[in-house]
Chains A and B, each alone.
Chain A
Amino acid sequence: MGTLTIACFPGLVGSAVYDFSLKLAGAATEKGHKVNIWFSGNATASVKANQKHLKDYPTGEKHIKALLEKGVEICTCEACTVARGINKPDAIQGVQWNAMHWYLAKVHASDRVLHMGGE
């Protein structure tokens, strides 16, 4: 089994790329791979806790929590997140907060990297 690092920049409810990234992470975990997820740009707003899941809208929180339970490391770009007015006490527990070098370090150790930049 290998290590997959996924970077997702498009945001929750803004782009289905976000949903794709979480589903892919789940599928890779089910296959026994180690998975890391880096949120930057608009995706960082998705780490805010207490999201309301409305059927007409995609959701992030429950999927993020499920992935964290399975051992996926999820990290949000601290600068992008606080720039959006979201601070650590308001965020989903278990999500790491770090700078871009967290992502590069994970990339260094990965067998596959899927970088989904913005739109």
Chain B
Amino acid sequence: MGDVKLAIVVQRPQYKGETSRLGITHAISYQTVEVLLDDGDTVTPTLCFMGEGVLGLTKGQKSMEHYGITSTEAHMKNTLLVDLDVMVCKEDMDRYGIPADTLPDAEEMGAEKTIKVVPFAEIKKAIDDARHVLFF
């Protein structure tokens, strides 16, 4: 069957609902899915943030200090460390007045990928190109 592309779309912020965070961790789990697939089969997710989903991504989150839970920021760094393609909708960042430099990166941890702020048209393309789309 080969590679199956997925679009994993997060459209709600974290810390009230949990499932938007689970969107990130489900995407990361592509790293281990091969143990359950036939040789040569892979899953390639593109993790997309749109709508209010762009709200929960800023650096400096203190969820561990206040609630004892791993922050979205930490999960986002992990996405970059496992070479996920991560896209954040530019129109929604602009709508909410969120500068791109508030997004975390994992360069100091050795990640080669960065979070990309892109026009929605690119997210739509990822959705169109994907075999399945999962809205969290």
Interface residues of A (CB under 8 A from B): 7, 9, 40-42, 99-105, 107-110, 113, 115, 117-119
Contacts and interface: CB of A to CB of B under 8 A. Distances in A.
Nearest to A115: B134
B4 A108 contact: yes
Nearest to B4: A108
Nearest to A113: B132
Interface residues of B, number: 26
Nearest to A116: B135
A40 B6 CA distance: 18
Contact of B17 (A102, A104, A113, A118): A118
Contacts of B19: 9, 40-41, 117-119
Interface in B3-31: 4, 6, 17-20, 22-23, 25-26, 29-30
Nearest to B35: A101
Interface of B: 1, 4, 6, 17-20, 22-23, 25-26, 29-30, 32-33, 35-37, 41, 43, 45, 132-136
Contacts, number: 71
Contacts of A119: 17, 19
11 contacts: A41-B18, A100-B25, A101-B35, A104-B30, A104-B33, A105-B36, A113-B134, A115-B133, A115-B136, A118-B17, A118-B20
A110 B6 CA distance: 12
Contact of A41 (B1, B22, B35, B41): B22
A107 B4 contact: yes
B26 A104 contact: yes
Central interface residue in A7, A107, A108, by most chain B CB within 10 Å? A108
